[in-house]
Structure 1
Amino acid sequence: MQAIADMPIEIARHVRVLLCDIDDTLTNEGRLPACAYAALERLTQAGIAVVPITGRPAGWCDMIARLWPVAGVVGENGAFYFAYNENARRMRRVFAIEDSQRTLDREKLQKIRARVLAEVSGAAVSADQLYREADLAIDFSEDVPLLPVAHIDRIKRIFEEEGAVAKISSIHVNGWYGAYDKLTMARRFAAEILDLDIDRDRDRVVFVGDSPNDAPMFGFFPHACGVANVLQFRGRIEAEPAYVTVREGGHGFVEVADRILDARGGRDAA
Structure 2
Amino acid sequence: MAASLIGVFADIDDTLTTDGRLPAASYAALERLHEAGLFVAPITGRPAGWCDMVARFWPVTGVVGENGAFYFAYDEAERRMRRAFFASDAERADNRIRLDAIGQRILAEVRGAAISADQLYREADLAIDFCEDVAPLGKADIARIKAIFEEAGAVAKISSIHVNGWFGDYDKLSMSRRFAAEILGIDLDAQKYRIAFVGDSPNDAPMFGFFPNSCGVANVLDFIGEMEAEPAFVAARTGGQGFVEIVETILSAHGRSGNEMQREGADAR
Distance, in Å, in 2 between the alignment partners of 1:54 and 1:211 is 11
Structure 2 partner of 1:252: 242
SS of 1:84's equivalent in the other structure is strand
Alignment partner of 1:205 is 2:195? yes
SS of 1:146's equivalent in the other structure is coil
Structure 1 partner of 2:161: 171
**How far 1:33 moved relative to its partner?**
0.4
**Match for 1:61: what amino acid?**
C
Structure 2 partner of 1:147: 137
Structure ranking higher in helix proportion: 2
Structure 2 partner of 1:159: 149
Distance, in Å, in 2 between the alignment partners of 1:237 and 1:77 is 16
**Match for 1:264: what amino acid?**
H
Structure 2 partner of 1:8: none
TM-score (norm. length: structure 2): 0.96
Q: How does 1:7-18 map to 2 (within 5 A)?
A: 11-18=1-8
**How far 1:86 moved relative to its partner?**
1.1
**Match for 1:185: what amino acid?**
M
Distance, in Å, in 2 between the alignment partners of 1:78 and 1:37 is 22
Structure 2 partner of 1:219: 209
**How far 1:269 moved relative to its partner?**
3.9
SS of 1:199's equivalent in the other structure is helix
**Match for 1:143: what amino acid?**
D
User: Would you say the 8 A contact 2:157–2:163 is kept in 1?
Assistant: yes
Distance, in Å, in 1 between the alignment partners of 2:29 and 2:68 is 24
Structure 1 partner of 2:267: none
RMSD (Å), alpha carbons: 0.6
**How far 1:111 moved relative to its partner?**
1.1
Alignment partner of 1:47 is 2:33? no
**How far 1:110 moved relative to its partner?**
1.0
Distance, in Å, in 2 between the alignment partners of 1:224 and 1:94 is 25
Structure 1 partner of 2:266: none
Deviations 1:142-163 (A, max 9, x none): 0001100000000000000000
Name the structure, 1 or 2, with higher relative contact order (CA <8 Å, separation 6+): 1
User: Would you say the 8 A contact 2:150–2:156 is kept in 1?
Assistant: yes
TM-score (norm. length: structure 1): 0.96
Deviations 1:164-213 (A, max 9, x none): 00000000000000000000000000011111111011100100000000
**Match for 2:62: what amino acid?**
G
Alignment partner of 1:88 is 2:78? yes
Runs of 4+ in 1 over 2 A off after TM superposition: none
SS of 2:188's equivalent in the other structure is coil
